Amino acid sequence: MDEDKLPRLTRRKVAAGGAAAAAGMFGGCLGSMQQFLGVSSLDQVSLRVLAPPADWDRRANEIAGRLVDRLKQVGIDTRFPLVPPGQFRRQVLYDRDFDLYVGTMPIGHDPDYLRPLLTSTYSDGIGWQNPFGFADISLDESLAEQYQQTGEERTGTINRILDTVAGEQPLVPIATDQAIAAVGTDAFEGWERAPLRDPTWLLELEPASDAATDETLRITTKDESITQQLNPLVPWINEYDLVTSLLYDPLARYYDDAVRPWLAEGWKLTADDNELTVTLRSDLSWHDGEPITAEDIKFTYDFLEDTALGNANAEYPAPRFQGQAQAVDTVTVETDRTVRIRTDSSAAVAPRLLTAPLLPKHVWRSRTGVANARRGITRAIGHDNTDAVGSGPMTLDSRTEDDSVRFTRFEGHPLNRDNESPIADRFGRVAFSELVVSLTPSDLTMVAYLQENAADVTVPSLDNKIVTGVASRDDLSLVTSDSRTLYHVGFNARRRPLRNPSFRRAVAHLINKRRIVDSVFDGYAEPRTTLVRENSWIPDDLQWNNGDPEVPFVGVEDELFIENARKHFSDAGYHYTDDNILVY
C-alpha cells in the first residue's frame, strides 16, 4: 500500500463518514423520537437556489434549473427565485443571503488561492473570502502550512487539502468553461496568442499588416459594471477584468507559465525565503504624472491589509487581495525604488504576493472612512473610482454610465516607451491607441455589433449557443481558449441542513457533470472534480475518470435513480414521510 495516500483517504472518510454518523444519532431515529414526543408533523426540508438570470449567464441558470428539478425529485421543497445580476452578486458575496447558489468564480494559477477561499477565519468577510461559511480547523492548518512549503512537501499538503475539500464538499466544482470571443474585423491579429481572459490577452495583439498604426480597438460587453465603477478592489470582479489588467499594474504578472517582473525590475529572495527585496523599474509614473515610488508600494500593501489604515476600531482588509496582503508581515522602504517585503511564505509562493495592483498613495489615502462597519466595507471598497488613476498601459479618457468607457494609450508606460525594457521586448508597444468598451444587452446584440462593424471583438464570455451562428458567417471568426472560470454550486454552511457535510454530499450526487458539459456547454468546457486545474496538484484518486470518483452521479446517462439518491439523504440523517417528503 502507498503510505502517502493513507492519511488522505483516512481524513476524507472520517470527514464524510463521521459527519453522517453524527447526523444519524439525531436524524436516523426521527420517526421514533416523533412518536415519543407526541409530535404530529415535522418540517419539510426547504431550500432556495440562487443563480444569475438566463440572459446574463444561461449556463449557470440552466445548471441551477436542473438541480432544482432533482432536489424536488428527492422530496425537498425548492424555490428558484429570479434575481438580477447585481442582486445575485450582493446576496452571495456581500450579504451571504443564500442557501445554495450556482455561479462562477476565478481559479488561481497557484493553489494558494484556496487559503482565503476556505479558511474559516475569513468567513465573516465579503467577496471570495469563504462565502460558504465553511469551517474545518484541520483544513485551516493545512492551508496555512502549504504556503510555507515547497516541492514534494507542498504537493502532499495540497493533495490532503483537496481530499478534505472533496470529502466535505463546501462547494461542488462542476466545470471550467472555454473562453469564447467573436472577432469581426481584420484590424488586429494575434487573438489566440494568450488565453482570452488573461490580463495579457489584448497586449499580445498586433496591427494587421494593412492596418494603420494608431487603431481604435472596440470591444462590446453586456457587463454594465465596467461603465458604473472602475474600482480594482471590488470583490465581485470576475476572471476577465479590464480595469485591473489595463488601468492598474502590479509589480509582477503571471505569463509564460510563471510569475515574472512587470513594474518591478526584479527581486531577490533571502536564503531563509522570508524576505523579498524588490526594485522598481526606473522613471515610472502614475497616469496623472506623479512618480511611482517605493512609498506607493508600502502604502499599497498596508492599505490592502487594512483599508481603514488603523483609523477604525477594527481592520478592514481589501477582500479581493486579502490572502496576498495578510501573507506580508512588513514592508520597509530602502530607497525611492527599493523595498524589503518580510513574509512567512515560501519561495514557491512569495512571488505571488507581488501580483496585487499598485495603488497611488496620493489618491487612495483619503479613502479610509468606514462606510458599513457591519459588512466590513470602507469607502475604498465602496468607491466607484470613476476618475481612476493607475499606472497601466491604458489610461481612462471618458466614461458614460450604462453606455461606454474610453481608454487611451499611456505613453509613459514601459510597454509604450521608445526605450527598451524586458516586457516591451516580450510584448511590444500596445497595438491600439484607443480602447472603447461599449455596453450591449445580450450575446446576440454583441454579435450584431460586430456584423454592423460597430465593434471589433466581443468580451471572451460568449455563450456557446451562439457559436454555430458566428462560425457560419464569412465576416466573423471565433477564438477560443481554456479558461480559469469555475462553474460551481456553493453551499451556505451557516444554515441548516447545509452545515451537514453528508447532506451536501447527497446534493452533489444529484449533479451529472458529464451531461452538463455535453449539453449545457456543448462540449466547450471540462468537468472538474477539484478546485484546481493542474493535474500535478490533484491526487490520483480524485482525477476525473468518466465521472467524479468522490461524488458520482446517482444514475445512468441522465436518468436519476431516485431511490438511490434518497438513500444518500437518509444516510445523512434525514427522514422520509410515507409521501416521500424529506423532513427534519
Of residues 66, 145, 64, the one with CA closest to residue 111: 145
Is residue 489 a contact partner of residue 171, using CB atoms and an 8 Å limit? yes
3-state percent helix, strand, coil for the chain, nearest multiple of 5: 35, 20, 45
Q: What is the DSSP string of 508-535?
A: HTT--HHHIIIIISTT-EEE-SSS---G
Is residue 195 a contact partner of residue 181, using CB atoms and an 8 Å limit? no
Helices (H) and strands (E) in the chain, counts: 19, 25
Q: Which residues contact 376 (CB under 8 A, 6 or more apart)?
A: 124, 125, 126, 314, 316, 319
Average pLDDT on 323-351 reads 93
Please state whether the predicted TM-score (pTM) of the whole model is above 0.85. yes
Rounded distance between C-alpha atoms, residue 101 and residue 450, angstroms: 33
Average pLDDT on 490-515 reads 97
Cell 483544513 locates to 139
pLDDT tens column, 394-404: 999 999 999 99
Is residue 160 a contact partner of residue 7, using CB atoms and an 8 Å limit? yes
Between the alpha carbon of residue 126 and those of residues 343, 386, 455, the distances in Å are 24, 22, 35
pLDDT tens column, 72-86: 999 999 999 989 998
Between the alpha carbon of residue 141 and those of residues 120, 283, 442, the distances in Å are 10, 43, 44
Quick one: 56 exposed, middle or buried, by C-beta within 10 A (0-12, 13-18, 19+)? middle
Rounded to 10°, the helix 151-168/137-146 angle is 150
Amino acid letter, 266: G
Amino acid letter, 561: F
CA 474 to chain centre: 35
pLDDT tens column, 215-238: 899 999 998 888 998 999 988 777
**Can you tell me whether residue 583 is helix, strand or coil?**
strand
Quick one: 544 exposed, middle or buried, by C-beta within 10 A (0-12, 13-18, 19+)? middle
pLDDT tens column, 30-84: 444 444 434 445 899 999 999 999 999 999 999 999 999 999 999 999 999 989 9
User: Which is it for strands 46-50 and 394-400: parallel, antiparallel or unpaired?
Assistant: unpaired
pLDDT tens column, 263-293: 999 999 987 778 999 999 999 999 999 999 9
Q: Which residues contact 454 (CB under 8 A, 6 or more apart)?
A: 218, 220, 438
For residue 404, the cross-strand partners are: 400, 438
